Structure 1
Amino acid sequence: MTAGIAALVEAYRNGWTHRDAATIASIWDPEYEVVYSPSELDRPILGAASIGRYYDRVFHDIGAVHVMTVADVRIDTIGDIAYAYFSFHLEGETAVAPEPFVVDGRNTLIARRTDDGWKGIHYHESLRGPLAEKS
């Protein structure tokens, strides 16, 4: 049962690795008003279509992704609801006047079982702060 949730996490990682908004868009439940909270925005993005547009913009501004890893994956299911917690490490460069960047963060992804398998309904991201212990 957790394999379906692990597949969502892998689609997220793979979408970032290849700067592929369509792969990331495939994670979300189009029948649900998904709440998506990336760390850089003050307000959440609502709905799967809006998330797709967000990633189109994000990947337009990123020239290359060199490394995208996920770790510390923890998955639990409660009936038709599941969550995944994972950390990520992203390295790349911007598209305009290429400058390198590194982002380390933590995510919680909540999903529900649908007729099409597991689909994400809520996402929350937080970045590791400068005082976070490196492990």
Structure 2
Amino acid sequence: EVGSYSQSVPELASRWQGYIKSGVWELLDSDFWTLPYVFSAMEKRDPNLYDLLRESSLVLFKGDLNYRKLTGETNWPPTHSFHTALDGFHPTNVAILRTLKADTVCGLGPGQAEMVEKKDTDWNLTGKYGLIQFDPVF
């Protein structure tokens, strides 16, 4: 129920603000984020940013555009490995939170896409479905 989350959201926001103020989390600005390059090009195009990400224990991305840039703007089969789709972009552990609003999706288990498609043929375009994916550095 949506109402049951009303207290936890401000608590979570407060906790996250504390992480930023204390330096546990860091927000990085760079021109690279707004350029038309996929993230696998970062090490070559902006090695300083890539090196900064390497120093982190986790990089958290959000959003459909960032997902598409992570996975190379490629229309992968839904079961294609998320790790492989990153095409060498492995500066550290990577996590992505995403609402699906584009065809690009990968890392699903066998049959998952087909199961959701039976309920909604435009499941990957409507913004009604989302993903949280994680790729650990080995």
Q: Work out whether the TM-score is over 0.5.
A: no
Q: Given the two structures, how large is their TM-score scaled by the length of structure 1?
A: 0.27
Bigger strand share: 1
TM-score by length of 2: 0.27
Q: Which has the larger radius of gyration?
A: 2
In terms of fraction of residues, the more helix-rich structure is: 2
